[in-house]
Amino acid sequence: MNTTHEQVYGPIRDHYADAARTTASGQSACWGPDQSHWGTANYDGLDDLGVLPDAAAWASLGCGNPLAVADLHDGEIVLDLGSGGGIDVLLSAKRVGPTGYAYGLDMTPDMLDLARRNAVEAGATNVEFLDGHMEAIPLADDSVDVVISNCVINLSPDKPAVFAEMRRVLRPGGRLGISDVVTEDRLTDDERRERGSYVGCIAGALALTEYRDGLVAAGFDDVSITFTNQVGDGVHSAIVRATKPANV
């Protein structure tokens, strides 16, 4: 990683390492960019949430529920970018069943340790947690059916690289099911920084048109971005969907 990347990722890594240690100590670490609790409130109504280890739920720091977006099926291979304590990976693994597989990718050693412990406690055998960055995903081309992510892509200092990597690892016809923080087009970069930090998921958030154009430029079809909850002036949780063309 170059200096610019590390200037962004250093504080983020420290922040999420603290969250992992908080969770490991038996406390919830769920918060949103305004310090309100997002976390498991995004999963209300899921019957299988109650069978996960408490630590997986306590470490849920996302802004949505990508599983409600991704519509997973038996036998599919799923990749979760920024998997944290593993809640979305473990829920995905249950949905794709024993013939499917769920990968989690994270750059924070403490979170990876927590997620792996949660997987063992949950008895999940069709999961794997990978150490790495979403700008350089350590998986082969055309190797997954679905990419999910929960309030993480906004943290990347190189979003075109993330978009390109998602397309690379998806099989033809594969799809994105992402929850993220997205701003209205009217906000300037300075206004985003005024509303929150990179670590708080706002300073690095893309505007709606930027996000859509970035996915199209990376080669995705059927791109849709839908605002769900407003988390600040001009700042929203959003559902992001797109597909990799089937004829590539």
pLDDT at residue 70, rounded to an integer: 87
C-alpha dihedral (132, 29, 80, 159), degrees to nearest 10: -60
Which amino acid appears at position 37 of this protein? H
pLDDT at residue 18, rounded to an integer: 57
In-domain check, residue 44: yes
Number of domains in the chain: 1
* Range(s) of the domain holding residue 136: 3-243
pLDDT at residue 11, rounded to an integer: 59
Strands (E) located in 72-203: 77-81, 101-106, 127-131, 144-150, 170-183
CA distance 5 to 228: 29
pLDDT at residue 19, rounded to an integer: 57
In-domain check, residue 99: yes
**What CATH number has the domain bearing residue 179?**
3.40.50.150
In-domain check, residue 28: yes
pLDDT at residue 142, rounded to an integer: 98
pTM: 0.81
pLDDT at residue 73, rounded to an integer: 96
Q: Dmax over Cα atoms in the chain, in whole Å?
A: 49
Per residue of the chain (248 residues), give pLDDT as tens.
Answer: 443 566 656 655 555 555 555 555 444 444 444 433 344 445 544 555 555 555 455 445 556 678 778 889 999 999 999 998 888 999 999 999 999 999 999 988 888 998 999 899 989 999 999 999 999 999 999 999 999 998 889 889 899 999 999 999 999 999 999 999 999 999 887 776 776 554 555 767 899 999 999 999 999 999 999 999 888 889 898 999 999 999 87
